[in-house]
Structure 1
Amino acid sequence: MMRRGILQVSAMILGGFLFFSVSIGGAIAWIFSKLFQHTTQGLSLLCGGFLVGLLVLDIIPSSFQIYQSFGIILGIFIGYFIFQLLDTVFHASHAQNPSVSLLTLAMIIHTIPISLTVGNLLGNAALSISLTASIILHHVPEGFALSTALIAQGERLWRLFIYFFIFSIFFSIFIWFGQYWALPEKAQGILMGISIGLIATASISEFILHQLKYVSFKSFFMYLILGYLLSYIFHTLVE
């Protein structure tokens, strides 16, 4: 009973570390928003380029190393169709910032396999330090991407922390689930594929292609490449 309580507290603490991690990414995004405060299109393209880099450099390669290709590819198609469905619903209901909502959903889905795995390993004291460091480092880019998207869509700064809080709560909940329930590897691969499909479709459709008519080709590629380079820098630092 006492051990269960300790593990629950550990899950909450790790959720707190995730909140701290994405907040660091959010702070960096806020600094960049001040540099590009006169162009929300530039911020959107920066976010799109960063998300593409995050997928190409980190999420996709690591996913194919861990999970079976079929599950990931199936998940990508499912993620694409989920995006199309939800995008239609959001736009039909005139919801504000549908791209941000879809990206947030994708990020939450992305954390499910990771948090369940963390929950399974939580009792191993030898892994606790490396686990904590990994959580802090690997979620800074996600905090940056989500924050850039939110700021580009006109969200206020205090709302960022609400998103981060929800993000960390979900993370803690699934860590807690992971202590008692091992999700099959195939299902984890499909979930990871869904998150890839959602992130890829949202970044390309909403944050990149949607901005083509608002900026010059020169600015378009400049912001896009800058976002990708930032993702590369984050990836290099984390590695």
Structure 2
Amino acid sequence: MILGGFLFFSVSIGGAIAWIFSKLFQHTTQGLSLLCGGFLVGILVLDIIPSSFQIYQSFGIILGIFIGYFIFQLLDTLFHASHTQNPSVSLLTLAMIIHTIPISLTVGNLLGNAALSISLTASIILHHVPEGFALSTALISQGEKLWRLFIYFFIFSIFFSIFIWFGQYWSLPEKAQGVLMGISIGLIATASISEFILHQLQKVSFKSFFIYLFLGYFLSYIFHILVE
């Protein structure tokens, strides 16, 4: 639960940074969506995808990406068929939770072991600051209230704590972890490109489109440098 509290603090920092940017772009919902899309693509390209292929087998990750894509298509169809809210935030939240599972299980396996050093724990927590920023930007761009962000963060940290506890008693096979990471990548990629980027293509000028997109990617690069 202590590590879950640290995670809550970490994503809250990312949320606070996102709130500041939302004030800068408070009259441009499309700009916030593009900022989020560019940022998500950035953390995929700079961090999540390279580290996943270093740790897990390529076949499992690629299989997971295809599964994640089909999950997105299925849920996207169901959401739009029922005329409910844009599914991007729900899908992104699901992707973030799935992404957390292998990491939290690994932490659980290492609890009580000298291998889980303070530096490793700090690294795990710091890597969730960008996720807090991305999720918060997505929520704010969809018109969600600020207080609801903390509900999402609380749920996020609860899942993190639960899977750490599972990890103390149960070791998920590496192939399964690779598939989960692939599913997470597939969901994040399709949600960011389809919902946050392509949907805004005809709503803003060509110049603004690339400025917001580049700014989001540049922010992901800054986060990557800071937490590396």
Query: TM-score, with normalisation over the residues of structure 2?
Result: 0.98
Show structure 1 runs of 4+ deviating over 3 A. none
Residue 132 of structure 1: how far off its partner (Å)? 2.6
Contact 2:80 2:86 in 1 (8 A): no
- CA deviation string 1:37-57 (max 9, x = no partner): 010000000000000000000
Deviations 1:133-174 (A, max 9, x none): 112210000000000000000000000000000000000000
Larger CA deviation: 119-128 vs 201-210: 119-128
The partner residue of 2:11 within 2, 22, 40 is 22
Number of residue pairs the alignment of both structures matches: 228
Partner of 1:94: 83
Alignment check: 8 A CA contact 1:17 1:132 kept? no
Gaps of 5+ in 2: none
Question: Contact 1:122/1:128 (CA < 8 Å) preserved in 2?
Answer: no
Q: Give the conservation status (yes or no) of the 8 Å contact 1:21–1:135.
A: no
State the shift of 1:125 in Å. 4.3
Q: Which residue of 2 aligns with 1:207?
A: 196
CA separation of 1:193/1:126 partners in 2, compared to 1, >3 Å: closer, same or farther? closer
CA distances 1:164-188 after superposition (whole Å, capped 9, x unpaired): 0000000000000000000000000
Identical columns (%):
94
**CA contact 2:15–2:136 (8 Å) conserved in 1:** yes
| 1:44–1:208 contact (8 Å) kept in structure 2 | yes
1:209 and 1:78 map into 2 onto residues whose CA distance is 21
Distance in 2 between the 1:90 and 1:17 partners? 33
Q: What's the offset of the Cα at 1:97?
A: 3.2
Unaligned runs of 5+ residues in structure 1 are 1-11
> TM-score normalized by structure 1?
0.94
Query: Residues 182-193 of structure 1: matches in 2 within 5 Å?
Result: 182-193=171-182
Give, in angstroms, the shift of residue 123 of structure 1.
1.1
